[in-house]
Structure 1
């Protein structure tokens, strides 16, 4: 499928399944997968919709959906061994969605032989669509996003996180971190647009980070671990760092690692 055709699938899922439930969820349409981790009927139905359409178009590809994985963790293991994978986060920022905040997104990433080649982030309430293709650039609503130009001095960088420990205990050598938007589908585009210079997360689920990491890479940024090693679809361990340039990843990662251990 062409890049625009897959973006149309995200829009269709939002229009038909997600937006009609926005600020209209009944109590029985919201559940907890684990304490504090919410899922709604919109998450489940949107993922089913996107999975079917992608599998119809790419029958040999693995589809790694957040909700399917929460039911059967073997989905993640199978996808990690597949040469062609689509990641799906049907409603990224579910808590925001449940609370009536417009800061949520639909996200899909495409990975071939371990490398992310295309990604899509659609923010239904903001009517913004972000698309990235490896080596070809990143766009917002059809307009190419300009390369990032962050400060070289780590102390001048603006960082954001949802991790309470880092918000309360600023890393030495860095400015106090701001609170992120509680949705990777909002966070990553804000970094790509130059509103913040780095993002740090404790959880490293592929459906959260694969789409945004490519978006940021295509405007000059980088995503990896606090020790500077690469982020990938297969490896699971805490902490993911995305910076507006690879040059600042070392000092920022070291400062954060000194706090979180």
Structure 2
């Protein structure tokens, strides 16, 4: 199954997504919400992946980003029983639409509410990162593991995504992030950020808006590589969660160092969604 899904993702990426890169007409890019784009490649990729995935696993259902945009009730399938595919047909759509990289195709298989497998293809760089629950994480066929030490906050590099943060929390996080070794606002592509933690290119990532297609695939990859994926109150992230705020780290000690630096007064109050 792992190889069959990987082949399907590559096929869709190379026949549907990549040919549209830097060849989109104005009419092929739309705004779903302010600053939130969708392209014809997103739509066609999701349709092709939906057909292929349900054919590979009869009786399964798909929760795709564009299907949820059309009908928010589709997201509720994530918590249903049985096999559910979570699909981000083009992760990093704004990059893709602007003719920039990175952008990815991401898929996760959830069984009875728990992640079972995940695939992230960086389309242009052609890196495929895969994980299976209990079997580890692999990039281009080579097992990857997060770092196991904690050099201290001043030596840690990662992402502090300011997008979607409430104004007061954004100001607090920006000020406190100066205590970290290095931080960026990210590459606006979760499919890039999670594997970067799994391979120690960076050691952490903090995000506010938590949508399953953005975070379920990467969360399994990071955990299978040895990392942790937790909400800001320390609870473990699950695919059905709607709670805002997520801190991803290479290991539990690094999670504590980053969390203590960004939120020295303790976890912020987070309104339920």
TM-score surpassing 0.5? yes
Question: Counterpart of 2:243 in 1: which secondary structure?
Answer: coil
Assess if the C-alpha contact under 8 Å between 1:132 and 1:214 holds in 2. yes
Q: Deviations over 1:23-78 (max 9, x none)?
A: 00000000000000000000000000001111122232221100000110000113
Task: State whether structure 2 residue 245 is matched by structure 1 residue 246.
Answer: no
Give the TM-score, by structure 2 length. Answer: 0.89
Q: Once structures 1 and 2 are overlaid, which stretch shifts more, 161-170 or 184-193?
A: 161-170
Deviation at 1:118, TM superposition (A): 0.7
Question: Which residue of 2 is the match for residue 140 of structure 1?
Answer: 139
Structure 2: how far apart are the matches of 1:81 and 1:56? 19
Q: 2:234 aligns with which of 222, 228, 236?
A: 228
Distance of 1:63 and 1:119 partners within structure 2: 14
- The structural deviation recorded for 1:103 is 0.2
Aligned length: 260
Tell me how far apart the structure 1 counterparts of residues 205 and 220 of structure 2 sit (CA, whole Å): 14
Name the structure 1 match of 2:101: 102
- Match among 211, 214, 237 for residue 208 of structure 1: 214
Using the TM superposition, name which of 107-116 and 244-253 deviates more.
244-253
User: CA offset at residue 193 of structure 1?
Assistant: 1.2
The 8 Å contact of residues 155 and 182 in structure 2, kept in 1 or not, is answered as: no
Bigger mean CA offset, 219-228 vs 160-169: 160-169
Give how far 1:114 is off: 2.2
The one of 189, 193, 197 aligned to 1:187 = 193
Deviations 1:102-121 (A, max 9, x none): 20000000111222111000
Give deviations 1:71-127, integer Å, cap 9, x for gaps.
Answer: 100001133223321100000000110111120000000111222111000011001
What's the counterpart of residue 166 of structure 2? Answer: none
Runs (5+) with no aligned partner, structure 2: 164-169
Deviations 1:191-222 (A, max 9, x none): 11101111011111011111111111111101
CA positional deviation for 1:223? 0.5
5 Å-filtered alignment, 1:1-261, equals 2-163=1-162, 165=170, 168-171=174-177, 173-175=179-181, 177-257=183-263, 258=265, 261=269
Q: Tell me, in whole angstroms, the C-alpha distance in 2 between the residues paired with 1:219 and 1:179.
A: 23
Whether the aligned pair in 2 keeps the contact of 1:226 and 1:254 (CA below 8 Å) is: no
CA distance in 2, matches of 1:200, 1:162: 6
DSSP 3-state at the match of 1:227: coil
Q: Which moved more, 1:3-12 or 1:162-171?
A: 162-171
Equivalent residues of 2:157, 2:203 under 8 A apart: yes
Q: Could you say what secondary structure the match of 1:106 adopts? A: strand
**Do the aligned partners of 1:170 and 1:176 also contact (CA within 8 Å) in 2?**
no
